[in-house]
Structure 1
Amino acid sequence: MIPPAFEYVRPGSVEEAVRALADAGQEAKVLAGGQSLLPLLRLRLAFPEVVVDIGRLPGLRGVREEDGLLVIGALTTHHQVVRDPLVRRHAGLLAAATAQVADPAVRHRGTLGGSLAHADPAGDLPAVLLALDGELVAQGPGGRRAIPAREFFTGYLETALAPDELLVAVRVPKTDGWGCHYEKFQRSAQSWAVIGVAALVRRENGHLAEARIGLTNMGATPLRATAAEQALAGAGDFRAVARAAESAAIGTVPARDAAASPEYRAHLARVLTRRAVLAAAGMG
């Protein structure tokens, strides 16, 4: 289909982009890698009056260390995230999950910031950022502010970003010494996850001292499986992990659609949580 007409703006700096968003108000959309926005435009599911193209803004790509965190520019592509040595060394869960995003063509164009700002609960990376306890850096007319991932995703395709704010960076704590695994079920390599589970575990004396579980596509926003996290504390073998994983769907509200029923999604959440935790802990 042919997209609706809109005004196209290509700013030369982050400050210009913020001004363009402020001038357009609620009627603007940001174009980064285009892998989320362009399909919406083509299918006429979005009707922006202004599209602000930030794809060539300087300073929003790459990974660096800062104050013990990894700081990743919002325009860093999925391909760059997967291959970056700092991400692979200090945030293995992010690298593993990003490697499973769609296909190579999408990973070469799509951006980390664009995926997070799109806030699709079926996307892989929002749940991963929740499990990592990451935060997102937004810049608006008043300067920059950091938004914890647990506060960023506010509803279906909705975030805490103001209309005149631009996502400029993602901060991720290092998880050295933690085991990690991302497990998902999908109908094809290019399709969205029916369910995904991002698992981080820390072991002490052969038992799980701490676990963080992020759930993809188990509600209108990405979720933490807090009941399963609590039940996993102290687990030391397959049976204990399996029992804890049975609580993975508690507190979730999975949708019914052509891919799965809520009951099937809850079943998948339990099964995939067990698999992901066992793999992350090296018990599988």
Structure 2
Amino acid sequence: MKIITWYYPDNPAEAAGLSESDKVFLHSGGTGLLMSNLKGVQGLVDLNKLPLKTIHSEKGLITFGSLCTYADVVSYFKKKNPDHLLVHSLHQSASTPLRNRVTLGGTLAMAPPWSDLTGPLMALDARLALEGKSRGEYSVEDYLTQKELRSGTVITSVKIPLECGLCAHYREVRTQRDMPLFNLTVVLNVEKERISHARLIAVGTRTKFTRMKEMETWLKGQSLKSVKIPEVEKRCQLSFGNKAGTDPEYLAVKASIELGRMIAGLAGVTS
């Protein structure tokens, strides 16, 4: 019988050191283990003794310990800002039991292509604190695209703004509890009736996630109510891979239509 060694570190640096081996898995909520191939695993690092479940606020930024669950995040923002983007995206993500288990750090470390967390955090310019070989504060986009930031490190906290401007999140699902085929996140800041800041993220694309930088640049400076929705759809050029029972071209068209609807909704356009 194969024996797996369990580790119980009491500080993030120790946990990060243990994770340098590709045969040792970090474990917190445990949901990721259900979807992992554990054949080659020799050790599991239980993170639950680490002091990473705190929440504190300073100057409009909320710092969540990486072991905070989706339920913790939704509960906090419902009290402080019920219209927060993460309330919209996470309250309908997975089932209630899973929302009580899935952690911020675990989701970001695994970065599944159906995540309802990745896009909103990128759109909000959230910052991650890392401990280990790469120590410091980094953007979510840098963490996901730079392999060296994910090797031998542990996410200790996620810093998220309390206010998020005009925001919307869309999930393309067959059923309410289904994992999204893709999701879209839009965050817009408007000053003097013009868009001063735009973030548009798609998760579940061929490259796992896509930040629509050209569209962000095009939107900046425009009057929100004057944005032409057909032009939004035309400029939305997302690429999807083959997914079971779906057509990549259909997903691309559907994503462009939904993005147009999201921006129209934020502008108060109903038809």
Q: Do Structure 1 and Structure 2 share a fold, with TM-score over 0.5?
A: yes
Q: How big is the alpha-carbon RMSD for the aligned residues of Structure 1 and Structure 2? A: 2.7
Contact 2:229–2:261, Cα closer than 8 Å, also in 1: no
Q: Which residue of 2 aligns with 1:17?
A: 15
Matched, 1:262 2:253: no
SS of the aligned residue for 2:205 comes to coil
Listed one character per residue, the Cα deviations across residues 175-194 of structure 1 (whole Å, up to 9, x for unaligned) are: 35x11111111122222211
Matched, 1:8 2:1: no
Identical counterparts, % of pairs: 23
Q: Structure 1: how far apart are the matches of 2:240 and 2:127?
A: 25
Q: Which runs of 5+ in 1 are unaligned?
A: none
Q: Which residue of 2 aligns with 1:172?
A: 160
Q: Could you tell which deviates more after superposition, 81-90 or 267-276? A: 81-90
Contact 1:232–1:241, Cα closer than 8 Å, also in 2: no
TM-score, L = length of structure 1:
0.83
Letter in 1 for 2:161: P
Q: Structure 1: how far apart are the matches of 2:36 and 2:206?
A: 21
Contact 2:66–2:156, Cα closer than 8 Å, also in 1: yes
Closer, same or farther: CA 159–187 of 1 in aligned 2, 3 Å: farther
Listed one character per residue, the Cα deviations across residues 231-275 of structure 1 (whole Å, up to 9, x for unaligned) are: 3331433761342243122xx432111142221121122112112
Q: Which runs of 5+ in 2 are unaligned?
A: none
Query: In structure 2, which of residues 190, 199, 210 is the aligned counterpart of residue 212 of structure 1?
Result: 199
Q: Which residue of 1 aligns with 2:174?
A: 187
Closer, same or farther: CA 227–17 of 1 in aligned 2, 3 Å: same
Query: In structure 2, which of residues 45, 63, 66 is the aligned counterpart of residue 52 of structure 1?
Result: 45
SS of the aligned residue for 2:208 comes to coil
Q: Could you tell which deviates more after superposition, 109-118 or 8-17? A: 8-17
Listed one character per residue, the Cα deviations across residues 7-36 of structure 1 (whole Å, up to 9, x for unaligned) are: 2222233233234334xx222111111122
Measure how far apart 1:87 and its partner are.
8.0
Query: In structure 2, which of residues 236, 239, 242 is the aligned counterpart of residue 253 of structure 1?
Result: 239
Listed one character per residue, the Cα deviations across residues 33-71 of structure 1 (whole Å, up to 9, x for unaligned) are: 112222324xx5x632211111x2242113222354221
Measure how far apart 1:108 and its partner are.
0.8
Q: In the TM superposition, what are the counterparts of 1:64-79 in structure 2 within 5 Å?
A: 64-66=56-58, 68-79=60-71
Q: Structure 2: how far apart are the matches of 1:100 and 1:159?
A: 32
Q: Structure 2: how far apart are the matches of 1:159 and 1:88?
A: 35
Q: How many residues align?
A: 269
TM-score, L = length of structure 2:
0.87
SS of the aligned residue for 1:172 comes to strand
Q: Structure 2: how far apart are the matches of 1:194 and 1:85?
A: 26
Listed one character per residue, the Cα deviations across residues 102-152 of structure 1 (whole Å, up to 9, x for unaligned) are: 11111011111111111112211111111111221110167x311211211
Q: In the TM superposition, what are the counterparts of 1:85-234 in structure 2 within 5 Å?
A: 85=77, 88-89=80-81, 92-140=84-132, 144-154=135-145, 160-162=149-151, 164-176=152-164, 178-233=165-220, 234=222
Closer, same or farther: CA 122–201 of 1 in aligned 2, 3 Å: same
Q: Could you tell which deviates more after superposition, 121-130 or 71-80? A: 121-130
Letter in 1 for 2:149: A
Q: Which residue of 2 aligns with 1:38?
A: 34
Q: Could you tell which deviates more after superposition, 102-111 or 267-276? A: 267-276
Contact 1:208–1:232, Cα closer than 8 Å, also in 2: yes
Q: Structure 1: how far apart are the matches of 2:85 and 2:15?
A: 31
Contact 2:17–2:153, Cα closer than 8 Å, also in 1: no
Letter in 2 for 1:123: S
Measure how far apart 1:205 and its partner are.
3.7
SS of the aligned residue for 1:213 comes to strand
Closer, same or farther: CA 5–213 of 1 in aligned 2, 3 Å: farther
Closer, same or farther: CA 88–221 of 1 in aligned 2, 3 Å: farther
Letter in 2 for 1:38: L
SS of the aligned residue for 1:197 comes to strand
